[in-house]
Structure 1
Amino acid sequence: MKLKLLSMSVAVALLASCGQESATEQPKAETTKTQSVAEQKDAKAKAPVELQSGLTLDNFDRSVRVQDDLYRFVNGTWLSKTEIPSDKSNYGTFTALADKAQEDLRKIIEASAAAKDLEPGSNEQKVGDLYNSVLDVDTLNQRGLEPLKPYLAEIEAIKDKQQLVEYFAKVPKLGSSAPMGMWVNNDAKDPTQYIMYMTQSGLSLPNKDYYFDEDETHESIRHAFVKHVETMFNLAGLPKGAEAAKDIMALEMAIANAHWNKEDNRNSVKTYNKYALKQMSELTDAIDWNAYFTAMGVADQSNLVVRQPSYITALGTIVKDTSLDAWKTYLTWHLLTGNASLLTSELDQENFAFYGKTLQGTPEQLPRWKRGVNAVNSLLGEVVGKVYVAKYFKPEAKQRMMELVENLREAYRQSINELDWMGEETKKQALDKLSKFRPKIGYPDKWQDYSNLTITKGKLLENYMSARQFNFNEQRDKLGKPIDRDEWFMTPQTVNAYYNPVMNEIVFPAAILQPPFFDMNADDAVNYGGIGAVIGHEMGHGFDDQGATYDGDGVLRDWWTAQDKEEFKARTTKLAAQYDEFEPLPGVHVNGEFTLGENIGDLGGLTIAYKAYQLSKEGKPAPVLDGFTGDQRFFMGWAQVWARKYRDAEMKRRINVDPHSPSEYRSNGVVQNMPEFMAAFDVKPGDELYLEPEKRVKIW
Structure 2
Amino acid sequence: MTEQRLPRASTEQETAPLLRDPEEADAIENGVNGRDGYFSGQRNVAYREQVTPLTKILLVLALILLFLSTIFFGLFVSAQRKLNLERRPNPPAPPPPSPTAIPEEPVCLTGDCIMLSASILSSLDTTQDPCENFYEFSNGGWLRAHPLPPDKGSFGAFESLEQDNERVIQRILEDSSSTASFTTSYDDHLLAKLRGFYSSCMNESKLDERGHEPLMAVINNIRHIFKGREVVIKEEAEVNKFKGLTAALAYMHSRGLDSLFSFSIEGDVGVDPNYLVLWFSQPSLGLPSKEYYEEDDIRDVYKSVIERLLLIVSEEDEQALSRQSKGTLPFVEQSNNVWPPWHWPPCDEDDERNKKPINKTKRAHELAKKVVKFESEIAKASLDLDILYQDPIATYNPAPIFNLTASLPQIEFARYFATFTPGKFPDRLILTYPPYAESLSEILEKTSGDVIEAYLVTRAALSLSSYLGMDTEAWQAQRTLVETLNGIKKGAVGERSEYCVGQVEQALGFAAGRYFVNETFGGESKEKGTKVITDIVKAFQTSLKGIDWMDEKSAKAASEKAEAIRVKVGYPVGSPNTMDPASIATYYRLVTGDEDKFFENVLSASISDEIRSWHQLGKQRNLDSWEMYPSMVNAYFNPPSNEIVFPAGILQPPFFNKDWPTYLSYGAFGQVASHELTHAFDSAGRLYNQKGKLEEWWTNSTSEGFQVKQDCIIEQFSEYAIDDGKGGKLHVNGNLTSGENIGDSGLIQAYRAWKAQYNSSYEAGNEYLLPGSPYSRDQLFFISFARIWPRNMKAAAAVQQIRTDPHSPTRFRVDGTVYNIPEFAQVFNCSPTAKLNPPPEKQCIFWGSS
Q: TM-score range by the shorter chain?
A: 0.7 to 0.9
Any stretches of 5+ residues in structure 1 without a counterpart? Answer: 1-47, 213-217
| Counterpart-to-counterpart distance in 2, 1:322 and 1:506 | 45
Deviation digits for residues 394-452 of structure 1 (CA, Å, limit 9, x no counterpart): 23010001211111111000011221221122112211110011111111113332223
| Counterpart-to-counterpart distance in 1, 2:602 and 2:657 | 38
SS at match of 1:184: strand
**How far apart are residue 547 of structure 1 and its match?**
0.6
Is the 1:495–1:511 contact (alpha carbons within 8 Å) kept by the matching residues of 2?
yes
| Counterpart-to-counterpart distance in 2, 1:629 and 1:231 | 59
1:401 paired with 2:529, answer: yes
1:600 paired with 2:742, answer: yes
SS at match of 1:193: strand
Correspondences of 1:31-180 after superposition (within 5 Å): 52=113, 56-111=120-175, 122-157=189-224, 158-159=226-227, 160=240, 161-180=242-261
| Counterpart-to-counterpart distance in 1, 2:458 and 2:256 | 12
Match of 2:407 in 1: 283
Identify the range of structure 1 (502-511 vs 613-622) with the bigger mean alpha-carbon deviation.
613-622
Aligned match for 1:301, one of 426, 447, 456: 426
Q: Normalising by the residue count of structure 1, what TM-score does the alignment of the two structures yield?
A: 0.88
Is the 1:119–1:125 contact (alpha carbons within 8 Å) kept by the matching residues of 2?
no
Change (3 A) 1:324 1:689: same
Match of 2:43 in 1: none
Correspondences of 1:213-612 after superposition (within 5 Å): 218-236=295-313, 237=315, 239=345, 240-266=363-389, 267-297=391-421, 299-345=424-470, 346-347=472-473, 349-363=475-489, 364-446=492-574, 447=576, 448=584, 449-585=587-723, 586-603=728-745, 605-612=746-753
Match of 2:781 in 1: 634
Change (3 A) 1:531 1:256: same
Match of 1:6 in 2: none
| Counterpart-to-counterpart distance in 1, 2:540 and 2:525 | 22
Is the 1:113–1:128 contact (alpha carbons within 8 Å) kept by the matching residues of 2?
no
| Counterpart-to-counterpart distance in 1, 2:452 and 2:494 | 33
Identify the range of structure 1 (476-485 vs 286-295) with the bigger mean alpha-carbon deviation.
286-295
**How far apart are residue 235 of structure 1 and its match?**
3.3
Is the 2:245–2:411 contact (alpha carbons within 8 Å) kept by the matching residues of 1?
no
Change (3 A) 1:56 1:285: same
Change (3 A) 1:272 1:297: same
| Counterpart-to-counterpart distance in 1, 2:715 and 2:619 | 44
Match of 1:194 in 2: 276
SS at match of 2:140: helix
Change (3 A) 1:136 1:312: same
Is the 1:263–1:593 contact (alpha carbons within 8 Å) kept by the matching residues of 2?
yes
Is the 1:91–1:644 contact (alpha carbons within 8 Å) kept by the matching residues of 2?
yes
| Counterpart-to-counterpart distance in 1, 2:738 and 2:486 | 24
| Counterpart-to-counterpart distance in 2, 1:211 and 1:224 | 11
Is the 2:222–2:456 contact (alpha carbons within 8 Å) kept by the matching residues of 1?
yes
Deviation digits for residues 466-500 of structure 1 (CA, Å, limit 9, x no counterpart): 22221111111112333211111111111111111
Identify the range of structure 1 (453-462 vs 495-504) with the bigger mean alpha-carbon deviation.
453-462
Identify the range of structure 1 (149-158 vs 251-260) with the bigger mean alpha-carbon deviation.
149-158
| Counterpart-to-counterpart distance in 2, 1:398 and 1:57 | 28
**How far apart are residue 163 of structure 1 and its match?**
2.0
Is the 2:289–2:379 contact (alpha carbons within 8 Å) kept by the matching residues of 1?
yes
Match of 1:665 in 2: 812
SS at match of 2:218: helix
Change (3 A) 1:81 1:387: closer
**How far apart are residue 282 of structure 1 and its match?**
4.2
SS at match of 1:595: helix
Partner amino acid for 2:373?
A: A
Change (3 A) 1:490 1:348: farther
| Counterpart-to-counterpart distance in 2, 1:285 and 1:349 | 36
**How far apart are residue 113 of structure 1 and its match?**
12
**How far apart are residue 119 of structure 1 and its match?**
8.8
1:686 paired with 2:841, answer: no
Partner amino acid for 2:409?
A: D
Partner amino acid for 2:257?
A: S
SS at match of 2:514: helix
Match of 1:185 in 2: 266
Deviation digits for residues 319-361 of structure 1 (CA, Å, limit 9, x no counterpart): 2221211111111111111110122422354245333210001
Deviation digits for residues 551-589 of structure 1 (CA, Å, limit 9, x no counterpart): 111111111211111110110111111001112224111
Is the 2:197–2:592 contact (alpha carbons within 8 Å) kept by the matching residues of 1?
no
Change (3 A) 1:697 1:526: same
**How far apart are residue 114 of structure 1 and its match?**
12
Match of 1:643 in 2: 790
CA RMSD of aligned residues (A): 2.4
Is the 1:590–1:655 contact (alpha carbons within 8 Å) kept by the matching residues of 2?
yes
| Counterpart-to-counterpart distance in 2, 1:233 and 1:101 | 39
Is the 1:377–1:384 contact (alpha carbons within 8 Å) kept by the matching residues of 2?
yes
Partner amino acid for 2:253?
A: P
Partner amino acid for 1:228?
A: V
Is the 2:720–2:732 contact (alpha carbons within 8 Å) kept by the matching residues of 1?
yes
**How far apart are residue 104 of structure 1 and its match?**
0.8
Deviation digits for residues 98-142 of structure 1 (CA, Å, limit 9, x no counterpart): 110111111111236999xx9999222221221111122222222
Match of 1:615 in 2: 756
Change (3 A) 1:590 1:524: same
Q: Normalising by the residue count of structure 2, what TM-score does the alignment of the two structures yield?
A: 0.73
Match of 1:207 in 2: 289
Is the 1:576–1:593 contact (alpha carbons within 8 Å) kept by the matching residues of 2?
yes
| Counterpart-to-counterpart distance in 2, 1:106 and 1:327 | 42
**How far apart are residue 49 of structure 1 and its match?**
9.4
Partner amino acid for 2:756?
A: L
Is the 1:495–1:509 contact (alpha carbons within 8 Å) kept by the matching residues of 2?
yes
Partner amino acid for 2:676?
A: E
Change (3 A) 1:373 1:482: same
The number of residues matched between the two structures is 645
Change (3 A) 1:348 1:372: farther
**How far apart are residue 619 of structure 1 and its match?**
8.5
Change (3 A) 1:114 1:463: farther
SS at match of 2:792: strand
| Counterpart-to-counterpart distance in 2, 1:140 and 1:81 | 35
SS at match of 1:698: coil
| Counterpart-to-counterpart distance in 2, 1:505 and 1:311 | 31
